[in-house]
Chains A and B, each alone.
Chain A
């Protein structure tokens, strides 16, 4: 089988046999892994047990890292366009030629239109930090992460409510309400494992709200097939009941929060009866759940999910969920939600440098030019979107109108917006008008098909990278260590960026040339940390878990560190929060000022169906990562396409049967689908897994296989947070 060990010479299975500890990158969960390397060839992958949450666990995608590595369809050498843009005519080029072309083209654009005419995009993580630094030193403010097509509503709601990120202690919770956070398909092994143990424990209770009978729903004690996009109505009525009956943590709210009166005023009408027509869940159930949840608090979590974007009211939905947690008083309680205990915080508390501090090897100077989407600019619709992340949905219009200024080039790092961003038809038209598109990736992608230059990237098994600090109850450090030298003429983004920085004349911005120098700079010469990370791939000091409002936890911490005074630990929670009011904000005055009706959760913008008969929803599978892994041989064999989930009664109404072909369409697009009949979906809802329906003739195995939900999504974004809205109204049309 292509991409399997059989594709290799048998002789490699003898000789040196070693383990390399590293970090997975087949998806963005980035689990700690170890790779068995026999005679310099990776033959096996598993979880890195130095991260005790992993044990040796790894998912099907993670295991398939080996299959991806040896896939004959990978990009092996730089390609340069010879025909029209997108025509699929290429010639092979040397690295020197390809990089010289990129550097001279970028130099030309900078001279003619200004550096801001170049866009840069990548998924968050090391490549994004590096690319952002590259963009800033070149002089462009226009960096885009995947955030606005994924978790931006959650990140934004957390920032506005708490002034920082919060985390969920699934391990110790007794009761969890899950709003479509499908941890059993969008896998993150430590989290998914904790959730699986939770769901399998008969003394705990899991409620799942999802229009689809997902794996998560299959593990629930109670599943409610809520109407798509109506999570907000459910939560508003839950909050209504608690406030009506004065069932909330009064002391906590009084001491740490502002805006209770505004919240009460906003929720007067959102009764359990009111929400029935939106969610399809009866009022009695809401009353019972409200009571159960209140009694389970504070060891109870309303799980805000990861990527949801159920409706334009996404910011409101997520804020309402966060506020429900706050009213339960589960903040900094075991089995509730907590904030990161950072290295700085812990070192100061225990008065010893137990947790190494890192310095960023990626200098990112302020550019001083407004972005094309206005992100972070006072007065802009995207003023609350972080400047660093931007709004992907704004790109196509900005290019097509050349507003607010000329946009001529785009540098994309393993980013495939023609699959993962709304309205790829419009994006393709916009891309066709650019002067320069540079894509680096490990495979040809729909987006790379539109490029002038395609730079083949080494896979994560072939790359050394920097140290990554993970926040949580206890900080941990991981580092990607390569298991082998690149199989083909591929390079890492670090090598690409460093060469381009030299050619573009800002080599001085970087204090490193090699990865060894970069790591040493980042670790501030802490060779013990580096040695440990090279050997183990994962480092975490053992200290007691600290929940600041859990007395037993604080006492246990003070027993371990006898010189730490109890009151010093308790005072940590009393500090001013990084919100405008310094408190947890149930009401955000500055949001209300800019977006009337958005300062406090209320029933707005919940309609996603928009007069169409059906709502199309989409989600992740455990077999593939978004638009990234469809060609990986092992994974392709398991899941070569993505038929449309349809309830049998819906199919009957349209005269459709299993495996029939039909179209779904709306004002944005029309997509051919194959019908998959299942009882596991609401009759008014249709579902597609993400990442299929590709247009990549150079990957014939996946070209035009399955369907893309993105082709039916509007470029309209959710107010405040700028999130792409991934539920949409559609109609069914016979083929």
Chain B
């Protein structure tokens, strides 16, 4: 049966330490200067009425991925589990997908000269039933990953308990990555 993967980022637990960012670089040998994953920390408001916002930026693995439909060679494709991947050998670096992605998740790997992005660590981890590197190392366990169709999975239970927000939901891309927004601090 096909999986319904979901990655939940709890902004309340995230401390912006960048362990996920470095884990991703180490696991996937991401070259200097480009990122598959970053957490941006911003302070909002006016002193002393402030809030801190933690935004996880990576591919959100859309169910309706704009990057796949624009790809002229079929290099960008979706697996039967709905994961979006790139056949490196078919990528002609035309950058259509980079422009089409509303999440700015894709970039050109300067060493390979192909487009690259988060894969949920599919080859090295997920295909061996291991969590993606970022989830596995998170210092405060702010990331949960699993199959939301399995009723007893951590992500299914968390999804029932919390109100989840899906980034840029209005675009109809149906991301598999979602977040639990911060409950504290001023909102701008």
Chain A residues near B (Cβ < 8 Å): 1, 4-6, 43-47, 55-60, 62-64, 66-67, 184-185, 187, 189, 192-193, 196-197, 199-200, 202, 213, 215, 217-221, 223, 225, 622-623, 633-635, 637-638, 647, 678-683
The answer, among A1, A64, A197, for a CB contact under 8 Å with B32, is A1
Which residues of chain A come closer than 8 Å to B140, judged between CB atoms?
57, 192-193, 196-197
CA distance A193 to B183 in the complex (A): 18
- Write the chain A residue with the least CB distance to B133: A44
Known contacts: A196-B140, A200-B10, A678-B43. The answer to whether A622 contacts B18 by CB under 8 A is yes
CA distance A64 to B32 in the complex (A): 14
The 3 A-B residue pairs whose C-beta atoms are closest, nearest first, are A218-B52, A196-B140, A200-B12
CA distance A679 to B21 in the complex (A): 26
The answer to whether B15 has its CB under 8 Å from any CB of chain A is yes
Which residues of chain B come closer than 8 Å to A59, judged between CB atoms?
17, 19, 139
- Write the chain B residue with the least CB distance to A225: B48
CB distance from A218 to the nearest CB of B (A): 3
The answer, among A55, A200, A634, A638, for a CB contact under 8 Å with B13, is A200
Complex interface residues of chain B between 33 and 78 (CB less than 8 A to chain A): 33, 41, 43, 45-48, 50-52
Listed A/B pairs (8) with beta-carbon separation below 8 Å: A6-B31, A46-B137, A60-B21, A63-B22, A187-B17, A192-B139, A678-B43, A681-B47
Complex interface residues of chain B between 8 and 28 (CB less than 8 A to chain A): 10, 12-13, 15-19, 21-23, 25-27
The answer to whether B184 has its CB under 8 Å from any CB of chain A is yes
Q: Is B16's CB under 8 angstroms from A58's CB?
A: no
Known contacts: A46-B136, A218-B43. The answer to whether A680 contacts B50 by CB under 8 A is yes
Known contacts: A46-B137, A60-B18, A218-B52. The answer to whether A225 contacts B47 by CB under 8 A is yes
Which residues of chain A come closer than 8 Å to B21, judged between CB atoms?
60, 638
Q: Is B43's CB under 8 angstroms from A196's CB?
A: no
Beyond the given pairs A218-B43, A220-B184, 7 more chain A to chain B contacts, judged by CB atoms under 8 angstroms and listed by A's residue number, are A1-B32, A59-B17, A193-B139, A196-B15, A215-B52, A633-B32, A679-B45
CA distance A683 to B80 in the complex (A): 56
Complex interface residues of chain B between 132 and 175 (CB less than 8 A to chain A): 136-142
Q: Is B137's CB under 8 angstroms from A637's CB?
A: no
Which residues of chain A come closer than 8 Å to B16, judged between CB atoms?
184, 215, 622
Count contacts between A and B, CB distance < 8 Å: 130
CB distance from B29 to the nearest CB of A (A): 5
Q: Is A622's CB under 8 angstroms from B141's CB?
A: no
CB distance from A679 to the nearest CB of B (A): 5
CA distance A622 to B185 in the complex (A): 21
Which residues of chain B come closer than 8 Å to A218, judged between CB atoms?
43, 50-52, 184-185
Q: Is B47's CB under 8 angstroms from A55's CB?
A: no
CB distance from A281 to the nearest CB of B (A): 11
Which residues of chain A come closer than 8 Å to B183, judged between CB atoms?
202
Among A192, A220, A223, A623, the one with the most B-chain Cβ atoms within 10 Å of its Cβ is A223
Which residues of chain A come closer than 8 Å to B19, judged between CB atoms?
57-60, 62-63
The answer, among B13, B18, B27, B41, for a CB contact under 8 Å with A197, is B13
Q: Is A219's CB under 8 angstroms from B15's CB?
A: yes
Q: Is B15's CB under 8 angstroms from A184's CB?
A: yes
CA distance A57 to B43 in the complex (A): 26
- Write the chain B residue with the least CB distance to A64: B22
CA distance A67 to B25 in the complex (A): 11
Which residues of chain A come closer than 8 Å to B47, judged between CB atoms?
213, 225, 647, 679-683
Q: Is B29's CB under 8 angstroms from A63's CB?
A: no
Which residues of chain B come closer than 8 Å to A192, judged between CB atoms?
15, 139-140
Q: Is A634's CB under 8 angstroms from B22's CB?
A: yes
The answer, among A187, A215, A220, for a CB contact under 8 Å with B41, is A215
- Write the chain A residue with the least CB distance to B41: A215
- Write the chain B residue with the least CB distance to A622: B17
CB 8 Å contact bits of B97-134 with A (1 = contact, 0 = none): 00000000000000100000000000000000000000
CA distance A69 to B43 in the complex (A): 35
Which residues of chain B come closer than 8 Å to A46, judged between CB atoms?
136-137
Which residues of chain B come closer than 8 Å to A622, judged between CB atoms?
15-18
Known contacts: A1-B32, A623-B18. The answer to whether A44 contacts B26 by CB under 8 A is yes
CB distance from A629 to the nearest CB of B (A): 12
CB distance from B17 to the nearest CB of A (A): 4
Q: Is A60's CB under 8 angstroms from B15's CB?
A: no
CA distance A1 to B52 in the complex (A): 32
CB distance from B48 to the nearest CB of A (A): 5
Which residues of chain B come closer than 8 Å to A6, judged between CB atoms?
29, 31, 111
CA distance A681 to B16 in the complex (A): 18
Q: Is A63's CB under 8 angstroms from B12's CB?
A: no
Known contacts: A5-B26, A638-B22. The answer to whether A184 contacts B12 by CB under 8 A is no
CA distance A623 to B17 in the complex (A): 7
